[in-house]
Structure 1
Amino acid sequence: MEDGTIPDSDITASSAWSDSTEKERGNRDKGEGDGAWCPAGAVFPSASEYLQVDLRSLHFLALVGTQGRHADGHGREFARSYRLRYSRDGRTWITWKDRWGQEVVSGNENTYDVVLKDLGPPIVARYVRFYPLADRVMSVCLRVELYGCLWNDGLLMYTAPVGHVMHLSGSPVYLNDSTYDGSIESGVQFGGLGQLFDGVLGGNDFTETKELRVWPGYDYLGWSREALGQGSVDIEFHFEKTRSFHTMQVHSNNHHTQGVRVFSKVECQFKPGLLLPWSSPPLSLAVPLEDLKDPSSRPISLPLGGRPAQILRCQFAFADRWMLISEISFFSAPPSTTTSLAFPQVRADFDAMTPRAGLPVAKDDSSNTAILIGCLVGIILLLLAVIAVILWRQYWKKILGKPLSQLFHPSLHSSIPPFTTSSLLSLPPACGMDLEKGLPPTQEEPPPYPDAPPYPALSPPFPASVPHYAEADIVSLQGVSGNNTYAVPALTSPSPTAADCTPLPELPRHCLVFKEKLGEGQFGEVHLCEIESPQDLPNLEFPFNVRKGRPLLVAVKILRPDASKNARNDFLKEGKILSRLKDPNIISLLGVCVSSDPLCMVTEYMESGDLNQYLSHRVLLDKTGPTHNTPTISYPALIAMASQIASGMKFLSSLNFVHRDLATRNCLVGGEKGESGGDRGGERPIKIADFGMSRNLYAGDYYRIQGRAVLPIRWMAWECILMGKFTTASDVWAFGVTLWEMLSVCQEQPYSNLTDEQVIDNAGEFFRDHGRQVYLSRPDVCPQGLYDLMLSCWNRDCKLRPSFAHIHSFLTEDAMNMV
């Protein structure tokens, strides 16, 4: 639209506020008139106003852009979200949805910035409508741009049976055509286009997909001979015009061990026109024997003999129990010519102009495809050159030396490997799904959450992206204590600075007396030890709450001597980081043993162990009084403990540290400060630690990914589970779960009625925000005001969650008055 490819005459609108805001003002980056299209009517609540673009022929659209009304700084109107509807014939209109069924597209945050949105899946359409949305009555204006290319395939629709669900060891693999945009009746989909022509080729393992956060089997459309009840799969293709068909390529899977084989033969019929009869006899083609034996997935080429047709109907015969097809493409040409044209498989990752290796490519002599490809190659080479220069500069900075402060600057180490969809074959099936929404269909047993697709993929962890964490680096503390990762403030920030990093005190090994093994991590172990005479060690910071002559309990993290160089570096970095955390409610690093192997870190330990075990053996006092001879704890004592945890987290958040594994198992309990006999009045000191993950006792609290990394998903915010985004706001979420644990006296695991996979599904419900997300229920002894605090910690919008300063203030001032 911006460059005039789409003339103003091809732009229409439902209405316009004035002549200066009519339809042609909807061109992006143009400021004529009042600078945008603005509808006359309100878009709330009806959402019926639209801007329509006629592309004059079918186009493949992969990207859209929107902009508000800037008008040289005088405009104030923009659309925060919108819907897209498209049509191939001008009669049937389809609402675009992403791969997870979301139809609302996020728009602009101001009047001038251009917001580009990938269409995944992309659409094939002639007509496109933009429907701006609003959550209240307000002025909305819009400018738009479309990105794509001509749809040279000429394919209007295909008809095929609905795909089926395969169960591998009890885990569902959805083989439905999840992006099909036509209708479905009596087990047959018709009138639309979908994954057989989206350009994404499935791999050898059909349970692995190329799209993130989708379910196993997404790349394939598959059928079971038993479920279909016949020996072949019938697929019919309708094209715009009659063509001469020379070759058909079918990308199929041949996974022998699962009863999946390519089709044994194909029988095709040809209809030259809509009103003409089917040609006879049918063309019968056998699949070569080598294709039947080859276990890999690949395109199988079948000659069609140059027969003319506008409609093709092909029957693919089963060779085993299952048939899986990812893509179908054709070599064809108009009947009046002898030049062979290829119908392109346009890639769903928006590489619409780039031919795929080994597949036919559309040739259009009037296009500028070669020029565009050359420009793209040039841009890529330029970017590679820039990246090479940056890497070379960084290398020489390291060689030539750094300031002392940078010696303590941690580098990026991701402790969690990428979470692929193959690791989620055990996710429960979704229930009540409409195939047009791109979500798994209902075919077998209903799952616990209606309308919820599996949300399998966890992105690799990212550095915190919230603005006030922009300067924080990430360092993995996985060596001994588990997989905890802390966001560390840049050393340019006011506190702490490199000057605060004093040398770590070296403690003699002989002073450590082994008591018991607490647990082990990936590269080492954690032991409970005693220091018999702590006052005699000059390098040990003192005083402690230990009377003279009594031993001091410590936790000793020991790195295995055969650990890698990276693990040793991470271990030393962890020690430097912990040495900077000086707070009454944070476990302190007392010293290290690094003069010889094995490397050791010595941290303080609390005599009453971790908070989870401490509370789980107690009964919460109510108005009836304590149970006879049973350890008890009072509501005020619990709130005092929670306040201490909030205080420690307030300190961490002030330094932009992100804990990532806050839970009662990672809080240690000291001796009572007040009266003895239960906790009815005495206050016990609480300190936040980081090695709960290393203890076998809590293995059930972590979700294991592909047998390697583990994640505390029941304490994690939805954005952590789905996007790997860890911030102080996600620590606030975990604090809400920790507070719930405490008021439940650690008698059950959070979401104990849900499996790990269902917890991940619930994170997807938070993402969709359709009101189906499940919250932890209010504990019996929890006042409503305190439960409201928990709910605020679990707010979907991380910006609306309370700060730890607010939480600490609430617990110290208000929570005690709720009893």
Structure 2
Amino acid sequence: QLRKPVMVSISFLLSVCRYPLGMSGGQIQDEDISASSQWSESTAARYGRLDFEEGDGAWCPERMVEPDSLKEFLQVDLRSLHFITLVGTQGRHAGGIGNEFAQMYKIKYSRDGSRWISWRNRQGNQVIEGNRNAYDIMLKDLEPPIIARFVRFMPVSDHSMNVCMRVELYGCEWLDGLVSYNAPAGEQMSLEGQPVHFNDSVYDGAVIHSMTEGLGQLTDGMCGLDDFTHSHVYNVWPGYDYVGWTNESFPNGYVEIMFEFDRTRNFTTMKVHCNNMFMQHIKAFRQVVCYFRSEADWEATPLSFSPVVDDVNPSARFITVSLANHMASAMKCHFYFADAWMMFSEITFQSDTAMYNTTLAPPKTASGPPTRDDPTHKIDDSNTRILIGCLVAIIFILVAIIVIILWRQVWQKMLEKASRRMLDDELTASLSLQSETFAYSHNNPSSSSSSSAPSEQESSSTYERIFPLGPDYQEPSRLIRKLPEFSQSSEEMGCLHSVSMKSPYCDGVPHYAEADVVSLQGVTGGNTYAVPALTMDLLSGKDVAVEEFPRKLLTFKEKLGEGQFGEVHLCEAEGMQEFMDEDFSFDISDNQPVLVAVKMLRADANKNARNDFLKEIKIMARLKDPNIIRLLAVCICSDPLCMITEYMENGDLNQFLSRHEAEGQLALISNAPTVSYSNLCYMATQIASGMRYLSSLNFVHRDLATRNCLVGKNYTIKIADFGMSRNLYSGDYYRIQGRAVLPIRWMSWESILLGKFTTASDVWAFGVTLWETLTFCNEQPYSQLTDEQVIENTGEFFRDQKRQVYLPQPVLCPDSVYKIMLNCWRRNTKERPSFQDIHRALLESQA
């Protein structure tokens, strides 16, 4: 059996899964574009490509479009299932000869080419607003998005008229392979006398007593909020984001959901996003039992998984279920109730396509079908019995080991119980202070340096009773004094625990928890850089000219992200070359538009936010390094205030790598685009170089990851800060009571537990980023651990009893490079390498 590398399916696709699928670019072939009819050969379906002028400039049907008639359509075959989030349409002008366009249209789609489904928006409307003239491109978000192989555009009119269309589809490949799920219909809850509906309102299959042969809210890329009565979508009812059931309707105690896939797959994990508002008697499932079907029959032995029931943290969360590499084309899962209600908003799968070695298949006879009587392919029953016996013995041994481990854990917890009661409150206070600091800085970018964090007594953190205390645990402040990197004076110790200290440096580099650090988080709440106040004063003393750019020369392409005070948009800028310094040049001709990212401050932002925005411009204007995103121009003469920065045509490194594979035989078989190991190292070396530049200015990034590195031509890398503002990556951030969000899987132990951010903590994050790069971003760091377990693992680093878990060595990674990673994750901050050392080591590894 041959397998291609595992590809991780991520549910947060809405903001990033917006790539043109090939109508305008030519990737979609002419034979995959068809139509109900054509007015002439020069207006055939193949000319219906957005922004294309060949033929007579568009697809035009043979007949005029009549009211209430849906006979004419332009059809696109994408050859495989795709997650489609956006569509674009255009009319026909043909250099002034034509003036036909569709003012309205509908969309139908199909996953198998036989069953066609009419798209409806979240309010149930089918008609989409089209074009107002023959020239402009009209882009429309599909809310909800669709999962389809075939898509039909059907022009609609309220009177008889000639229409012509050019179209484009935007999205990405649907890696889950899921084609339908069958489940009981969602139910209704009465909350304070008001009905709360948990039905799957966008399900595209049949819904009578149950949902059959369709997809819906469990695959729409939108996770529900912690409070199920609220929604990401405006003007909808409470409970909209969730599909929910009550145990009163299920006497067996479970809800059965059946999943059908496009082909036999090798399943690694299933992730289920559950609500956990236990105050309302809602909890994640107590147990799930999954049955697998690879051919016609269901396997006799199911897989069972029981997550830890959480009665402390009411936040919604993903629960990861290991599917142990089962081969199946269908899956049937029984989700058992842990309380009166159970609610899901997303279910995703991680799998790869199973490709069998053809030499193992039975030979075909002269008449065609395989024969089971050929003597060279008979199964040796005796060997089979021996193999089964060995497997049973192994299972018994494993069960015995698990029982012993569990018994030891129970015994150890009993011993620890007394010390835990005494020490929980003090540790909680320490961690609560840290969480308040995060909340303060992330949600108040306009805060002044003189502000202080809430007191320990006022704070309440969801970290409570998550961090495991060992029997040999010591009181934190005393233990810290004994640690090598914290053997400091009492005044220096204040840097670790107080945001009111006036000393700008600890360990020689300022960190996040200090008041004298100017926190520039940007309009979206994303981490820009932590800038020491001293450095800020020095930089502010110089005038760096940043040109005012005419807004009319910016063309909106898509929204990259948003936050508390503003948004980030992807735009095309015309004539940008005229506004740039002599030391900066674009790799395009002067008359071509430049792809840029535009950070836009909302017009209703308060005065402090505006001041912070202007400070950020001052800082960004002075960052000039080949591997750091450059500020190009601004629009500050009128509202909304904008800063224009570089953007790289290949997007962020995380998405770029997830679309590629390592060079080798498997990549040749799958015909996937590849990246060589030397190019991976080249990109990692550029990240190290950019961080070397930032650290030389005493800047601390605080959110270094592949999602914050952009990719240009020839594998050029530039470090940015958009990651936190994008819905795609919201799963990479751990939320503290709905306020601050922390990228805990990239954070050092001292950043999580002590709130200390330094260049050394950036070095730790670089080690994780390097690991992501060499694994092609196929999975999240520590994917086998929950967020709470990641935090527990930082406690093992704190205690330093050799029980901490490290990220494993990637397959492509040589020992010398893995040693660099391990050095980045050293417990003692002073023992971690500098970015200059890392850059040099990576260069030597490529020699």
TM-score interval, normalised by the smaller of the two chains: 0.3 to 0.5
More helix by share: 2
Q: Which has the larger radius of gyration?
A: 1
Per the normalisation by structure 1, the TM-score is: 0.45
